[in-house]
Structure formats: structure tokens, C-alpha cells
């Protein structure tokens, strides 16, 4: 199975290598803001690099993002509610460090739009 499947996360673009700026914009369906947090997370057999960017959008884009395109559930939450959800340590760090108020999704082969994660085996 995939890492952290079934847990909540900020919408995340995943890949074995760092995504290009064009790929991130295409995936996010528009402009992506500046980097607000970057860190590495080591598991027993993988190193993940997180590049977290804030996205500000109007009501129309927010509704489109919430509908998403994958099988996972998505919803907008505040940081207090997000901290009560089942999340991996790196996702909880994102919520805690950036004062998260945004979208979360259940990880079920679905991706979204706030952090990019590179995994190296």
C-alpha cells in the first residue's frame, strides 16, 4: 500500500522526484503561492522532502478544489479541527507550523494541492 493511506493530509502532490513549477500549477489548477515551510522527514526506509506552499483562491476555485478528482473525501477545515484528525507526523507538523486553515483530504490514491513530497527509497 501507499504511505499513510487512509489518513488525512493537506492536499499533496507526490512523486519520486521534485515536481516542476509547471506541473505544480497544472495540478493545482492555477497559481501557487510562495514557499511557507520546507523540511525532510525520515522513515525507516524512505526520506521525504516537503515543500509547503500557501494557495489563496476565490470561492469558485475553492469549490472546484473541494470537488477534486479522486476517490478521497475532501473538506475545508480550520487548524483546530485539523489537529483532531488522524494525520501522519509530517502532515501534523504542517498544520501546527503554518497555522493551517485549509483543505484536507483522506489519502486514497487521491492528490490535492498544498504540499509537495518527494520520496527516495
Helix, strand, coil shares of the chain, percent, nearest 5, are 25, 30, 45
Q: What is the pTM of this model?
A: 0.71
Span 100-121, pLDDT tens digits:
666 666 654 333 334 444 443 3
Q: Which of 55, 72, 66 is nearest to 111 (CA)?
A: 72
Q: What is the pLDDT averaged over residues 83-87?
A: 88
CB-based contact 83:96 (threshold 8 Å): yes
Average pLDDT, the chain: 76
> CA-CA distance, 62 to 71, in Å (whole number)?
18
Amino acid at each position: 500500500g501507499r504511505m499513510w493511506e487512509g489518513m488525512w493530509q493537506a492536499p499533496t502532490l507526490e512523486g519520486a522526484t521534485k515536481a516542476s513549477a509547471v506541473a505544480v500549477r497544472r495540478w493545482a489548477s492555477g497559481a501557487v503561492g510562495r514557499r511557507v515551510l520546507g523540511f525532510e522527514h525520515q522513515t525507516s526506509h524512505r526520506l521525504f522532502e516537503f515543500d509547503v506552499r500557501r494557495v489563496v483562491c476565490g470561492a469558485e476555485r475553492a469549490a472546484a478544489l473541494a470537488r477534486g478528482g479522486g476517490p478521497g473525501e475532501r473538506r475545508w477545515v480550520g487548524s483546530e479541527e485539523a489537529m483532531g484528525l488522524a494525520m501522519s507526523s509530517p502532515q501534523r507538523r504542517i498544520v501546527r507550523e503554518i497555522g493551517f486553515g485549509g483543505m484536507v483530504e483522506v489519502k486514497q490514491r487521491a492528490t490535492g494541492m498544498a504540499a509537495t513530497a518527494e520520496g527516495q527509497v
